[in-house]
Amino acid sequence: MIWNGEFETLPREALEALQLKRLKNLVERVYTAVPYFHKKMDEAGVKPADIKSLADLVKLPFTTKEDLRLNYPFGLFAVPFDTVVRIHASSGTTGKPTVVGYTKNDIESWAELMARTLSAGGAHKGDVVHNAYGYGLFTGGLGAHYGAEKLGAAVIPISGGNSKRQIMIMQDFGSTVLLCTPSYALNLADVMKEMQVDPKTLKLRVGLFGAEPWSENMRQEIEARLNIMAIDIFGLSEVMGPGVASECIEEKHGLHVFEDFFIPEIIDPETGVPVPHGERGELVFTTLTKEAFPVIRYRTKDISRLITEPCSCGRTFYRMQRITGRTDDMLIIRGVNVFPSQIEHVLMSIEGVEPHYQIIVDRQASLDVMEVQVEVSESIFSDEIKVLEKLGKKIEREIKDLLGVSCKVKLVEPKTIQRSEGKAKRVIDNRKL
């Protein structure tokens, strides 16, 4: 079902005219309200008046995670602070998170986008939406929640964790739509098996999964094991949260980017030059309507490509292929973005010196597990077992505090972590996605 027939099926020319109108307005707003963007545009030699067509978008400078970090926490907000009604945050590359804000209108747009997403996945008024995305600073939980309410569905704000209880509630409340990360969906399937609950006895019909990369194989596994239709959805907090793009249930091939709200670009990550339609590269987004935290040409570091062929569902929006990789070393563990530099930051603050460490990620019983191996240097070594054990626990706790993801710390002997060309390999990802 198409939620918003007027906008989701706009002929391309009308859509592009709308995009241009909104882009001009965005650039004008940002140039006036955000000194940092003003300066960046001046440095790039571009004025709001230079944006005469959509092709002029490339004249605008990129926004990166580094820009967000430099303006922590609210430096890039484009509205007076008393009009901000919501603040979310996601992982930053060091100790500080990336902060985003929303006005009342932004929250309304976001709900519209998630209602479209849910609708594209086959959900409708009357559904019981089991929302197992995490509620909190993470955009997943609340983002999906407002969309489901707007859709007219009954939302169960169950958040993540406690799988047995989740399954009991699915049985008792008759959940029809499941929202969570794809790996958590598989974990739920495992727990159902353990509890001897046959998915066929549940009312679940469809699941919308996102917040971490997954594959066609995983889709087939989820569909078979939970007896549902599995839909891929995409979003990131810097751009909005969930609701940036979504597959349609008709094709399940590529995610429609809601182009009346966002302009997607694919660029060559080395040169920054846009690649021809259909070619693979780094995904870049410009937010057309956001008021509190607009971004211009935000580099996601996600690798994708755009599919411009028309879709049988009737939506005129281009589709992005499911994310196939990253241009940096970011990991997604149980839906949470993790940068090795964050772990380095924790270790540095404890050890006081450059740590030697390695992150090993695995998937056990459908759940991501992260082990951090830390070489025991003289500065942290002790002749007492309890001191070393305490140290291990402390590192685990601080990583959990900073990232929101638990890990196991293993102390290892010096030089046991592989070093290639003098630089240590920081991440070993054994998950077979």
Note the residues at the interface with another protein (CB under 8 A).
376-378, 381-385, 388-389, 410-416
Question: How far, in Å, are 156, 251, 349, 391, 393 from residue 379 at the CA level?
Answer: 50, 57, 13, 12, 17
User: What residue has token string 């920054």?
Assistant: 272
CB of 417 to another protein, least distance (A): 12
Shortest approach of another protein to residue 382 CB, angstroms?
A: 7
Q: How far apart are CA 40 and CA 259, in angstroms?
A: 25
State the Cα–Cα distance between residues 169 and 180, nearest whole angstrom.
Answer: 15
CB of 377 to another protein, least distance (A): 6
The residues that bridge with 242 in the sheet, in sequence order, are 235
DSSP H or E run through 114: helix 104-120
Residue among 344 and 371 whose Cβ is closer to another protein: 371
Q: How far apart are alpha carbons 371 and 362 in whole angstroms? A: 8
| CB of 273 or CB of 385, closer to another protein | 385
Q: How far is the CB of 371 from another protein (least distance, A)?
A: 11
Nearer to another protein, 200 or 386 (CB): 386
| Minimum CB distance to another protein, residue 363 (Å) | 21
Q: Tell me the C-alpha distance between 430 and 433, whole Å.
A: 9
Q: Per DSSP, what are the bridge partners of residue 88?
A: 100
**Smallest distance, Å, CB 362 to another protein?**
16
Range list of H helices, 152-199: 163-173, 182-194
CB 414, min distance to another protein, A? 5
At what angle are helices 182-194 and 163-173 packed, to 10 degrees? 80
Q: Are 417 and 356 in contact (CB under 8 A)?
A: yes
Find the shortest distance in angstroms from Cβ 416 to another protein.
7
The least CB distance from residue 400 to another protein, in Å, is 19
CA distance linking residue 246 with residue 255, whole number of Å: 4
Q: Of 71 and 373, which has the nearer Cβ to another protein?
A: 373
Nearer to another protein, 162 or 382 (CB): 382
Among residues 74, 72, 152, the alpha carbon closest in space to that of 118 is found at 152
CA atoms 406, 233, 146, 100: torsion sign: positive
Residue at 57: amino acid letter = L
Amino acid symbol at 17:
A
Here the contacts of 47-52 (C-beta below 8 Å, separation 24 or greater) are 48/24, 51/23, 51/24, 51/27
Give the span between the Cα atoms of 106 and 75, in whole angstroms. Answer: 18
- Which is nearer to another protein, 172 or 384 (by Cβ)? 384
Closest to another protein by CB, 77 vs 357, is: 357
